[in-house]
């Protein structure tokens, strides 16, 4: 297995070995004897206690294995459930091939998605904006009453509170306008003035990097662990800001227009961007 020293350093060599063993066990159960020809590469870490491997074998399309242990295992289990729910409702997401749910860890084998992350897509800005808007509209058109996963403000503020209480938020990672705010103070400000919610089915972490776009402009969503029913600005504020950062203000305006947004509530968008600081 080829390793990126930076990623191993973040995850820890001993934990990487443990994660690799579980990944190989899952691949063996899925591929049988053919698993011996698989090459595993640690490509990135996901949540703090999870690892992602790229599995390659001659003649087989690349696949990915995500592995988590201890307190991260139920988080990965929940991500799998949310991903499969979206898939069952017609949203393009990674196809789950096999799951290993054991006392000592959790692993999922997923098919690779054709394309590249939207933040590095070579598509022209008009084509990319059209593709992104189509994907967002399809997701937000799903009936929220049928979605069992809660991403409303009450749920997200509750998770933010748990993270703040655990000391898991680094204010050094905040955007400049929040850099002088303590996490607890930012959370109190957000709790004091929650906006009215417009509930849809959302992704919950909708950055350009979590959208895979192919050469034909077809989009798929990855890292769906925060998908559920919640305010549409949870997605719209984050993706709009990312589009502006990568493609400019005109592209951001074009995205809103393509999504049919007639009035953009900049104050509400900023609220959800500030809330994202705590995730």
CA angle at residue 69 from 47 to 201, to 5 degrees? 45
Here the tokens at position 234 are 């949870």
196: alpha, beta or left, given left = phi > 0 and alpha = psi -120 to 50? beta
Please report the beta strands in 86-217, taking only residues with DSSP state E, as ranges in sequence order: 96-102, 105-111, 116-117, 199-202, 211-213
**Residues annotated catalytic, as ranges:** 205
The widest CA-to-CA distance across the chain, in whole angstroms, is: 58
Q: Name the pairing type of β-strands 105-111 and 199-202.
A: unpaired
C-beta atoms surrounding 96 within 10 Å: 15
Here the tokens at position 277 are 């600081």
Separation between Cα atoms, residue 138 and residue 144, nearest integer Å? 12
């Amino acid at each position: 297995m080829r390793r990126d020293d930076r990623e191993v350093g973040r995850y820890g060599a001993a934990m990487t070995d443990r994660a690799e063993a579980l990944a190989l066990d899952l691949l063996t159960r899925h591929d049988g004897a053919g698993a011996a020809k698989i090459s595993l590469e640690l490509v990135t870490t996901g949540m703090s206690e999870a690892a992602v491997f790229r599995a390659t074998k001659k003649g087989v399309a690349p696949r990915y294995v995500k592995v988590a242990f201890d307190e991260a295992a139920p988080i990965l289990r929940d991500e799998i459930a949310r991903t499969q729910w979206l898939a069952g409702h017609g949203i393009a997401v990674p196809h789950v091939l096999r799951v290993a749910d054991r006392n000592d860890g959790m692993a999922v084998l997923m098919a690779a998605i054709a394309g590249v992350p939207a933040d590095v897509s070579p598509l022209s800005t008009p084509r990319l904006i059209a593709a992104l808007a189509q994907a967002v509209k399809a997701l937000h058109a799903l009936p929220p009453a049928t979605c069992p996963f809660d991403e409303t403000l009450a749920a997200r503020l509750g998770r933010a509170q748990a993270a703040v209480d655990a000391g898991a938020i680094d204010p050094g990672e905040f955007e400049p306008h929040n850099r002088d705010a303590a996490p607890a103070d930012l959370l109190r400000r957000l709790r004091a003035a929650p906006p009215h919610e417009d509930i849809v089915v959302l992704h919950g972490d909708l950055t350009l990097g979590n959208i895979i776009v192919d050469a034909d402009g077809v989009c798929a969503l990855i890292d769906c662990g925060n998908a559920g029913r919640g305010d549409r600005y949870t997605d719209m504020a984050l993706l709009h800001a990312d589009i502006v950062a990568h493609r400019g203000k005109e592209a951001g305006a074009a995205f809103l227009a393509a999504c049919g947004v007639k009035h953009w509530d900049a104050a509400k968008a900023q609220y959800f961007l500030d809330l994202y600081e705590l995730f």
